[in-house]
Structure formats: C-alpha cells, structure tokens
Amino acid sequence: MAHQKLLSGAPVSLFRKRLGDSGPPLIILHGMFGMSDNWQTLGRRLSDYYRVFLVDARNHGRSPHTSEMNYDLMAEDVGLLMEEEGMERATLMGHSMGGKTAMAFAAKYPERMDKIVVVDIAPRAYPPGHLSILEAFTRVDLAVATRQEIEAQLMTMVPSRAIALFLMKNLKRCKDGGFEWKLNLQAFKLHYPRLIAAVDPGGPHGIPALLVKGGKSAYVSDRDFELFKQHFPRAVLEVIPGAGHWVHAEQPEIFYNAVFEFLEEAD
C-alpha cells in the first residue's frame, strides 16, 4: 500500500483491522513506533465478546503519512474512524501514545465514549526518552539485503534485542531492493516534542476509567493516578506485577483478565 502524502491538518482515514462480528465496539490504539499488529493476539481474544478495531495511528503502519501530528488531530482521526464505521459510541483502550490519544478524545467527544482504558501513561509531560531510538531509525543503512543485517546494526544502537525486534516491525521491503520504514520518520523528528507533552483530558467526566500500570514501570506514579482521577473521578488503578511499560506483551494473561473484568462491569 502506497502511503498518502498529506500536508493539511485535517483528520485522516486510518488503517484498521476489524475483529469480531458482534458486541460493543472497542477501539485499540497502539503506542509510539508501534502498529495495530502489536495488539493482534489480545484483540482476537477480546473479539469473542466485542467488535474490536485495531488501528494504525497516523504516520504509523499502513495509515496515511501527514506533515502534521498532535493529539488533537489524532483524536479527530479516531472520531472520523467512528463515523466511517457507523459507531455512535465506543470504548477506547490506548497504550502510551495511544493512551494520550484516548484521553484527548475524551476531552473532545466525551458523549461518544463508553469507557476508557489507559495503559501505562499519564496525562502529564514526559522527558525525551526516545531520542536514541529516533537516532537509530535515522542511522540504520536500509540498502542491505537481509533483515539480519539491519538487526545487527540496531543491536549496536539500542539497549536490547527485544527493542531492536520491536523497531524492525516497521520495516518493509522496497521493490528495487533494500528496505524502508513504514513510519513517517520526518514527522516524528518534527513533532516529537508534541508527543511527549501533556494532554488535557477535560472533564471531570463520568466515564468509567481504568488506568493500568506495569509494576516495574516508572511511567505512572501515585501522583499521576491522582491527576488522572481529577479528569476521571470514577477511575480505578490496576498494577500488573512483573510488567514494565509494555504491559500487554510482558504479562498478557494478567493484563487480559484485568481489562476484561473492567470492560464487563456494569456502568
């Protein structure tokens, strides 16, 4: 699929995978440098009970590349997706950047949200912890023959093989040989400060809310949960033991049980 090259700050039609034919709609929003495929296993499991939509955010995966990128626009992208799918209301679950997008959506469209699940992120600003990854994306020589050669390069630039393999999910083969990145690297370099900035979720909302924290993650503190509760007074906190920031990948069974129990609770 060739990426659309869009200059305007208008909402865009996002790539999505639909799983499940019945039940309430559940939209899952991935984190920075991720894509819908990261949530495939969990999405399939939840699709027994929900109509699940796994979404590629703008400038990620198979969604359009745009010159503009901020949480207000990304919330509008989700609103457009709901219009395209004929949804009046939905539950949003977002990890990291996706969690901030879900909170921005709550500020703009609270009447369209059934519940919100935010995974290991708070609405506050964060320090620039991804600069080394952006540098790795830039420095890798993509004009090579094999993925193994790219992995070897990344292993000299990132802390672990797990991170190298996560980043390599963004690779696609060029028709004339070599590789290219699926994500819009230029947009990330330009707008990265906006992606780590604070987001205002609005409210206080009556929306049932779950904040999931990895037990080994430093992304969410007790103070962060209190800030979250100012916007979502009905919020509950679930700490997943043995998990870092990628909670759903590191402790999938515990994560699934916590989320499913929250989704099934009566409002």
Active centre residues (catalytic)? 96, 245
Annotate 197-219 with DSSP letters as a single string.
S-----S---S-EEEEEETT-SS
CA distance 267 to 263: 9
C-alpha distance from residue 91 to each of 41, 52, 103 (Å): 18, 10, 12
Of 88, 85, 20, 27, the closest CA to residue 57 belongs to 27
Give one word for 120, left, alpha or beta, with left for phi > 0 and alpha for psi -120 to 50.
left
| Residue 195, φ and ψ in degrees, nearest 5 | -75, -25
CA distance 15 to 127: 29
Q: How many residues does the chain have?
A: 267
